[in-house]
Amino acid sequence: MMKKMSLAAALMMVVGLAACSQKGFNTNLTVEPHPVPGTDFSKYKTWSFGRQGEYVVTGNEVLDDPTFRKSVGDHTIDEMNKLGYEHVDGQPDLLLMFHIMVEQRSDEVKNNPAYQDFDMQWAHQSSEDYWQEGTLMLFVIDAKTNQQVWGSTAKAELDQKSDFNTKKERFNQVVTKMLADFPKRTAK
């Protein structure tokens, strides 16, 4: 009896975890800002992209596309303008740098060897159990001191089914969410 209750409890936990891991753009996106304590943003007025033209190849056709990267750059300029910072080509106060990583992920619950001896319907693997997870890191650097003054990290499953324009739009939404926590410039 106790063994059956333990098995039932374990199954309930697994079903609960499986329900929590439902994939979707709005449900699996996490954004974490990383402000540097004590930074005085009132001294910053202008910014530029750091290491322009240097891109780490991700292996993801969309993320590596120059049109896609230009769209993200243009969107970032718009968002920073809304925050009160001016984009300049030379002598900026701040440098913004993006770094993208792509990793293969799989459903760890279904791949757990502890469940191999059980014939459980939910545990049958499919192509839905494998996906690419993208991590976008944004670093904001003081251009004079080369010290990081702010950062943000976003993680989400990469959308494999949408068209190119939808992927650009969603990526830009991620950048907007990341910059939502960036200190807004107050005019002096």
Spatial CA neighbour of 31 closest among 126, 164, 158, 156: 156
Query: What residue segments make up the domains of the chain, in order of their start?
Result: 26-106+130-179
Does 9 have pLDDT greater than 50?
A: no
Residue 151 is predicted with a pLDDT of 96
- pLDDT tens per residue, range 37-82: 999 999 999 999 987 666 667 777 887 888 888 999 999 999 999 9
Element (H, E) at 57: none
Domain 26-106+130-179 sits in CATH 3.40.640.10: no
For residues 126-147, give the mean pLDDT: 82
Instruction: Look up residue 174 and give its two tokens.
Output: 């991620």
38-61 residues labelled b (16+ CB within 10 A) or e (exposed): ebebeebbbbbbbeeeeeeebebe
Residue 112 is predicted with a pLDDT of 58
The CA distance from 97 to 94, in Å, is 10
> Please, which pLDDT band fits residue 188 given cuts at 50, 70 and 90?
low
